Every structure is written in C-alpha cells, then in structure tokens.
Amino acid sequence: MFMFFSLVLFLLFACGSESEEEPQLPLVAEMVEDLSAPNDVIDRSTGQVLEEKPFQYFSLSEKRVVTEDESWDVAFKGTTIRTNTAKNVSAALVDGIFQEINEIPATATFATDTETSLAIPTGSGNGWYSYNPTTHAIKPIPGKVILLQTTSGNYAKMEILSYYKGNPSDEELDPLTAEGATYTFQYVLQPNGTTKFE
C-alpha cells in the first residue's frame, strides 16, 4: 500500500514538473521553386491584351498555391506581385541580406495595394527586379527583401531568387529562350505574431 501511494505521488510530481510551454522550433526558410505565373499575352505593336492570364495566389502559411477565394497572402503574374488587400496583407521593401534580417526593422514602411499603386512596386529598378533592355533579362535586385504582414497578422520575409524556370545562373540564362514568369523564392514565416525571425 505504501509503495502504491509513493508511486502516485511520484507520478503527480513528475507531471507537475513538466513545462507547460512547448519548445520553440527554429524557423527555417521555405523554398518555392518554379511557380509559373505567366503574364498576359500582349500585342507588342499596339499594347492590346490578346489573352488575359490569371494571377497565381499563394498562401505562406499553407506553403502552396491556392484559389482566389481562399486565404492567400501574395499573388503573382508576370513581374507583378500583389498583396491581399481584402485580408489587410501589407508589404514593405527593404535593403539587406535575407539571412541577416532577424527582425522587422523599425524603419520599414508597410503599405497595402490600392487601385493606383502596389505595396510591392513594379517596373525596372522600382521594386524587386531590374530589366536589361539590351539582353531583355529580368533579374532580382541583390539585397532586396520583401517583408509581409500576412492574412493572420504574422510577419514574413521573402526574397525572389529567380524569374526563370530552373533558376539558371547568369552564364546559363538566355532570356530569349528561357521560360520567364516562373518564380523561385524563399521565405521565412514567424507564426507567433512577433517581429523577430529567430
């Protein structure tokens, strides 16, 4: 009988001594490769849209392409990246090394898309990419990092690595034959609502 009560007391003590908080797992960068988001087919001589292509909607928390009716954070088409204004997704573009941005900078200015402007600016040199009119290459600007506040109110950092299928190197890339509007990017999502990525 004494041994029974001793065992009960031991179990109660052992259970009570366990931490109620789950350990925090280290955040890891998610890699998305070859997300195809073709631009509209346009008559270059007139500027007329011959075929309108859909945006590709992406959920950072679900790590996949979703439909427009689902809870998406960013949408891609051609060189344009939209944020989900209906869900108050906002974005800021900052300079820095992706791996070294461990916290949302106090100087980051977040914005949402409007009818006349995008939170992530488009156009060569205005946002995340540059366009070379000689080679026709579209390349991510080194050191440009996109910060996001997602549909859930959590923070993420994103870096576009390539605009072409297969993420070709500069030596391998032939912009005239490579399949463009095919994104490779990495991102880190902090799911606990804090502004830190560590």
Which candidate, 156, 164, 155, 160, places its Cα nearest to that of 182? 164
81-115 tens-digit pLDDT: 999 999 999 999 999 999 999 999 999 999 999 99
**CA angle (108, 35, 121) in 5-degree steps:** 30
30 vs 16: which has the higher pLDDT: 30
C-beta of residue 71 within 8 angstroms of C-beta of residue 87: yes
* pLDDT band at residue 22 using 50, 70 and 90 as cut-offs: low
Give the model's pLDDT for residue 2: 43
**CA angle (60, 62, 67) in 5-degree steps:** 90
123-160 tens-digit pLDDT: 999 999 999 999 999 999 999 999 999 999 999 999 99
Give the model's pLDDT for residue 5: 41
Burial class of residue 163 (count of CB atoms within 10 Å of its CB; 0-12, 13-18, 19+): buried
Neighbours of 131 (CB within 10 A): 15
* pLDDT band at residue 26 using 50, 70 and 90 as cut-offs: confident
Q: How many Å is the maximal CA-CA distance in the chain?
A: 94
Give the model's pLDDT for residue 141: 98
Give the model's pLDDT for residue 178: 97
